[in-house]
Amino acid sequence: DSGVTQTPKHLITATGQRVTLRCSPRSGDLSVYWYQQSLDQGLQFLIQYYNGEERAKGNILERFSAQQFPDLHSELNLSSLELGDSALYFCASSVHFRDTQYFGPGTRLTVL
Amino acid sequence: GIQVEQSPPDLILQEGANSTLRCNFSDSVNNLQWFHQNPWGQLINLFYIPSGTKQNGRLSATTVATERYSLLYISSSQTTDSGVYFCALGEGNTPLVFGKGTRLSVIA
């Protein structure tokens, strides 16, 4: 158990819908990262927050947004879902930027 | 951006065998991590190793930053070592870039 929690574990929804994925980092970790893992794209960095502020953005679609709350948990919002958004979404956390990253169990999103 | 190449892409081992996984990268890095993704999808951090050598049980890793490669050694492999091994790199405070991974299957 990495100490990073993610909910829900599985999510099945329809095209055009909106979903919210939630992540709680390890106690004491200030940095939260979101990744998308799909068969064709591999593990792709989406976005990073550090102590409530956005620090880095990767290949995150405009339909996706995220935030980190004062208690340091983070949410990833995916809207206008398409079939191609089906993937495993991971959250990871670390104390600071260049520290060891610990991954949560992931949320498997299926868009039908 | 940083390019990451892992080899071999696939590896099949008999239980008890040793193996070496390689990660080559294109630029200088100050953040290099190895991960294991088990068959259930969980990603586990194995090493944070931007340079030097570290050991953890049957696993060890060496990074030679000046020559832009890192090696992960697995000794006396067990079936529980099966899964995909990723190296991931970053430079400065940039996000980690993941390689495509080496898929390891250990057969009893």
Indicate the residue of A101, A102, A106 with minimum beta-carbon distance to B96: A101
pLDDT (average), residues A32-40: 93
CB pairs < 8 Å spanning A and B: 49
- Give pLDDT, residue A98: 81
A77-86 core/surface letters (b: 16 or more CB in 10 A; e: else): ebeebeeebb
Q: Is A96 on the interface with B (CB under 8 A)?
A: no
* Residue B99 pLDDT > 90: yes
Q: What pLDDT band is residue B43 in, cutting at 50, 70 and 90?
A: very high
Which candidate from A45, A88, A102 shows the least CB-CB separation from B96? Answer: A45
> CA-CA distance, B77 to B108, in Å (whole number)?
10
User: Could you tell me if B106 and B15 are in contact, meaning their C-beta atoms sit under 8 angstroms apart?
Assistant: yes
A94 to chain B: closest CA residue: B45
**Banded pLDDT at A39 (limits 50, 70, 90):** confident
Of B44, B48, B86, the CB nearest to A43: B86
Nearest-CB residue to A102 (from B30, B45, B100): B45
Substitution target from A98, A107, A110 for chain B, most B beta carbons within 10 A: A98
Residue type, A76: L
In 3D space, the residue among A94, A80, A103 whose CA is nearest the CA of residue B31 turns out to be A94
pLDDT at position A34 over 90 = yes
Closest chain A C-alpha to B45 CA, distance in angstroms: 6
Average pLDDT for A91-103: 92
Q: Does position A40 have pLDDT exceeding 90, yes or no?
A: no
Longest dimension (CA), chain B: 42
Rounded to a whole number of angstroms, the distance from the CA of A4 to the nearest CA of chain B is 11
Percentage of residues of chain A with pLDDT beyond 90: 90
Residue A55 has a pLDDT of 94
Confidence of residue B92 (pLDDT cuts 50, 70, 90): confident
Closest CA to B86 of B12, B31, B6: B6
A56 confidence band (pLDDT: 50, 70, 90):
very high
CA distances from B101 to A77, B58, B81, B104 (A): 28, 20, 14, 9
Confidence of residue A1 (pLDDT cuts 50, 70, 90): confident
Cross-strand pairs, B66: none
- Check pLDDT > 90 for residue A11: yes
Q: With 90 as the cut, is the pLDDT of residue A97 above it?
A: no
pLDDT one-digit tens code per residue, A75-88: 999 999 999 999 99
Omega before residue A70 within 30° of 0, cis: no
Inspect the interface and report whether the beta carbons of B95 and A58 lie closer than 8 Å: yes
Give the pairing type, strands A102-103 and A42-50. unpaired
